[in-house]
Amino acid sequence: MFTRSENFRTFLQLYPVVSVLVCIHILFWLLLQIPIPQLKILLGLLDGYNAGIANGEYWRLITPIFLHIGFGHLFFNSISLILFAPALERMLGKAKFILIYIVSGMVANIATYIIEPLQYSHIGASGAIFGILGVYLFIVVCRKGLIDQANSQIIISILVIGLIMTFFNSNINVVAHIFGMIGGFIFAPFVIRKRAQFSHQSFYSPNYSRTKFNLNFSPKHIIWILFIILILLGLIFRLS
C-alpha cells in the first residue's frame, strides 16, 4: 500500500482516479502561479471562504479540496495521495473511492465553516486525505480480517504522526484534518463490504489476484516509511 513498484505508465493504468486527482492538484497550482489578475479573481472564488459559503456560495465546500497554497503544500498532499490512496482505489473501485474522497473533504470543509470564524479562508486536500486515513482506521478497528497486525501498526503510526504534526503549525487547518478523518471513518461502512478484500495488480502481469490486505513489510521498511513521512512533514512546514 505505501510502497510503489509500478512504473509511471502502469501507475496511470492501475490507479486512474488517484492519477487524475494529482494532475488536477498540479494544474490548479500552476494556474495560481500565472500573474493574471482575472485568473486570480476566478480562482479566488474557489477557496473555502466561510463568508462566501454563508452567502450561498456552496461550491466552496468542494472546490478547496483541489487547491494548494505553495509548492510544499502541493507536494506533500500529492505524495500522500500517491502513497496512501492506490490500495483503497483498487479495493473500493473508482466510483466509491471518488465518493469517499469528496464526502470526507466536504465533511472537513463543513466542520471548518461551522467552527471557524466567518472571515476564515482555507484551501487544500488534507481533509480528504485524512478521510482516506479514516477509512483505513475503520478497517483496522472494524474489519480486522482484512489486515494483519503489522500493517495495522503501520496505519496507526501514520495516523498518530499525522495528528501530532497537525498541531505543530499555525497554518494548518486543524479542524479539517480531524473532521476529515472522522468523516472517512463514519462513511467507510457504506462503501466497504464486510467480505471486501484489497486487491493488488503487479505490473509484471496483465492479470491481478485478489488477496488479503498484506503489505509484507519488515521492521526496516516501517522505519523508512515513518522517516520519509517525517521528512515530508518537515518540508511542508519549511516551505509553507
Residue 126 is among the residues annotated as catalytic for this protein: yes
Beta strands (DSSP E) in 110-176 are none
Coil vs helix vs strand at 199: strand
Q: Which of 80, 126, 152, 200 is catalytic?
A: 126
- Spell out the residues 6+ positions from residue 134 whose beta carbon is closer than 8 angstroms to its own: 104, 180, 181, 182, 183, 184, 185, 186, 188
With 0-12 / 13-18 / 19 or more C-beta atoms within 10 angstroms meaning exposed / middle / buried, residue 6 is: middle
Place of cell 466497504: 192
Q: Determine the Cα–Cα distance for residues 199 and 214; give it in Å rounded to an integer.
A: 10
- Is the distance from CB of 154 to CB of 225 less than 8 angstroms? yes
* Alpha-carbon dihedral sign for residues 57, 61, 63, 69: positive
Q: Determine the Cα–Cα distance for residues 124 and 122; give it in Å rounded to an integer.
A: 7
Q: Which of 25, 122, 177, 200 is catalytic?
A: 177
Pairing of strands 199-200, 209-210: antiparallel
Report, as residue numbers or ranges, the catalytic residues.
126, 177
